[in-house]
Amino acid sequence: MKGVLYVRENDHITCLACARKCKITKNLHGFCGVRYNLNNELIVANWGLFVAIAIDPIEKKPFYHFYPGHSALSLGTVGCSWACKYCQNWDISQRKQLIGIKLEPEEIVSIAKSRKELYDVITITFTYNEPSIYPEYSYEVAKIAKKEGFYISWVSNGYLTEEAIEFASKFLDAITIDIKGNANPRFAKKYILINNYEPVLEALEELYKKGVHIEITDLVIPKIGDRLEDARNLSKRIHDIMGDNSNIHFLRFYPNYKLSDIPPTSINILEKHTQVAKEEGISYVYIGNVLGHKLEHTYCPECGNIVIKRYGFLVDEVNIGKNNRCKFCGYKLYLEGHAKRSRITSPMYIETNKIPIMRKIVDSEIVEVKLSN
């Protein structure tokens, strides 16, 4: 399928989907492996080719302020605009061969509709790999899904161009922007293979101004991406942009891929990060990937009471009154939609009649993929 986000230049095209802005000559693809130059037209080669599909608790994204307790029909393809050396989903994100089952936008919406009542599906989320490398597909799904009452959301690195922000904000209701290593520029160069973090922070600001619901995660990696000074600068920047709605989920790192020799992040360093974020005025501060931690809950920024009590992906108790105000003090919370107790607490895998014919698009074996987010 032809893409929209690119410009044609003399002997190549320039892709505008992400801030890498690859210049792609004929018969080659860009860094992500899925945007391809065919006769100087950009083809989105992973169009509708999904390697992962499940109904996830929305807390798994993580969305803690967007319909808490509901579910997200979650989909992912191969490819990514980043090359994170610690990626949890590296076997699909770094895969340069196109594999997957072919699902048209209508089929995605039909799957969401068929599970809507049973699992409280509220959004279709493009996740597991980087959704901004095929934004045109999200847009096609959005056109149908919104008529059926579904929101569209992304779990993304936020590494977008101005053009991509403009395009995505037409249909995107919510986004989790996944920052890593406290947005330290040296970390970004060495472990992500990007030049700097500025495009991500600019996207955060622009999408927020355009009314997209935003939650921010930060993967804290021991020794190489855990400087408190960086966490302070990042928190300041988020607070400047989002004010009373500012939030951050500090995520515990677990060894994976090329960084399997680094130990998991200590709880102590994660807690120090949350302290710094609170000092910088962040209203909602969380610790993720630590089951049972007290910072899984949402606390009212005004009175400090628990307004949403969680255990892992389970929303167990909701103390929120009318108009999303704290039940204890009446403070207006940063919350889109209503919160409810969860029906599911782990992914529900989808069986479609297409799964047995998972297609071999390019010469590649099918692998089992283990997914996070």
Question: Footprint of ligand SF4 on this chain (CB under 6 A)?
Answer: 15, 17-18, 20-22, 30-32, 35, 81, 133
Nearer of residues 14 and 305 to ligand SF4, judged by Cβ:
14
DSSP H helical ranges for 243-299: 267-279
Nearer of residues 18 and 112 to ligand SF4, judged by Cβ:
18
Tell me how long the chain is: 373
CB atoms within 10 A of CB 358: 15
Nearer of residues 76 and 347 to ligand SF4, judged by Cβ:
76
Q: What distance in Å separates the CA atoms of residue 226 and residue 187, rounded to the nearest whole number?
A: 10
Residue nearest ligand SF4, Cβ-based: 30
Shortest Å distance, C-beta 116 to ligand SF4: 31
Shortest Å distance, C-beta 314 to ligand SF4: 36
CB atoms within 10 A of CB 15: 27
Shortest Å distance, C-beta 1 to ligand SF4: 15
CA angle 156, 192, 80 (to 5 degrees): 45
If DSSP codes are grouped into helix, strand and coil, which group holds residue 289?
coil
Q: What distance in Å separates the CA atoms of residue 291 and residue 252, rounded to the nearest whole number?
A: 10
Nearer of residues 96 and 209 to ligand SF4, judged by Cβ:
96
Residue 188 per-residue DSSP state: I
User: In the chain, how long is the greatest CA-to-CA distance?
Assistant: 64
Shortest Å distance, C-beta 154 to ligand SF4: 14
Nearer of residues 81 and 298 to ligand SF4, judged by Cβ:
81
Shortest Å distance, C-beta 79 to ligand SF4: 7
Nearer of residues 83 and 358 to ligand SF4, judged by Cβ:
83
Shortest Å distance, C-beta 30 to ligand SF4: 2
Q: What distance in Å separates the CA atoms of residue 130 and residue 104, rounded to the nearest whole number?
A: 19
CA dist 123 → 66, 134, 309 (Å): 10, 18, 22
CA dist 197 → 90, 180, 372 (Å): 21, 10, 23
Nearer of residues 18 and 98 to ligand SF4, judged by Cβ:
18
Shortest Å distance, C-beta 254 to ligand SF4: 26
